[in-house]
C-alpha cells in the first residue's frame, strides 16, 4: 500500500507517495488528484520526508540533482523516456524530437509527449525540461506557468 503525505511548498501543495521500494508519485495536490490520494494511506515516512527536504532544496536553488530511490510504474517505452529525461542537465532543455532520438525513434515525438504526460514524479524526473522543437513551452501537468517558473529557477541558478 502506498503511503502519501501532502506538503505546502513554495509552488503550492505537493503530494509525495512511496511504496516501500521508492518514491512512486509527486504531484500537485488539488481537486483533480483527489481520487489518486484516496487510494493511499496518509502517513509521513522517512523517505517522504527526505524527498520533501530535497524538493525544498531544489526550489531554493541549492540542489540540482535528486538522490532518491524511485519506483516508477509504466511501459518499457515510458521508462526509457523517463530515464532519458533524467539525463537532461540542470538548467538545460531538450526538444521532444531530441528525446525521441535518445530513445531510438526520432519519429516518436508524440509518444514521448504522452510519456512525459504520464510521468508520475514531476520535478524529480524533469519533464519540465522538455520543450517544443521551436523553443516554445508546451504541456506540463503543473501548467505552463509552473513549467516556466521551474526553468527560470534553473537558469538563474545554473553555472
Distances (CA, A) of 30 to 41, 72, 87, 142: 17, 21, 29, 11
* Given the residues 14, 85, 125, 127, the one annotated as active site: 127
Phi, psi of 27 (to 5 degrees): -160, 160
Q: Is 86 a catalytic residue?
A: no
For residue 86, give the 3-state DSSP assignment: helix
> Which of 91, 119, 113 is closest to 28 using CA atoms?
119
Catalytic annotation, residues: 127
Amino acid at each position: 500500500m502506498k503511503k502519501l503525505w501532502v506538503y505546502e511548498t513554495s509552488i503550492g501543495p505537493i503530494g509525495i507517495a512511496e511504496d516501500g521500494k521508492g518514491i512512486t508519485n509527486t504531484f500537485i495536490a488539488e481537486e483533480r488528484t483527489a481520487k489518486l490520494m484516496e487510494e493511499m494511506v496518509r502517513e509521513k515516512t522517512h523517505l517522504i520526508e527526505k524527498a520533501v527536504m530535497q524538493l525544498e532544496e531544489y526550489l531554493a536553488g541549492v540542489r540540482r540533482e535528486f538522490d532518491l530511490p524511485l519506483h516508477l510504474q509504466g511501459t518499457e517505452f515510458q521508462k526509457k523516456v523517463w530515464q532519458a529525461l533524467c539525463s537532461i542537465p540542470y538548467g538545460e532543455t531538450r526538444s521532444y524530437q531530441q528525446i525521441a532520438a535518445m530513445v531510438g525513434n526520432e519519429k516518436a515525438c508524440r509518444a514521448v509527449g504522452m510519456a512525459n504526460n504520464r510521468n508520475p514524479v514531476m520535478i524529480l524526473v524533469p519533464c519540465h525540461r522538455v520543450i517544443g522543437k521551436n523553443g516554445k513551452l508546451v504541456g506540463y501537468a503543473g501548467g505552463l506557468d509552473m513549467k516556466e517558473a521551474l526553468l527560470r529557477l534553473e537558469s538563474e541558478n545554473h553555472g
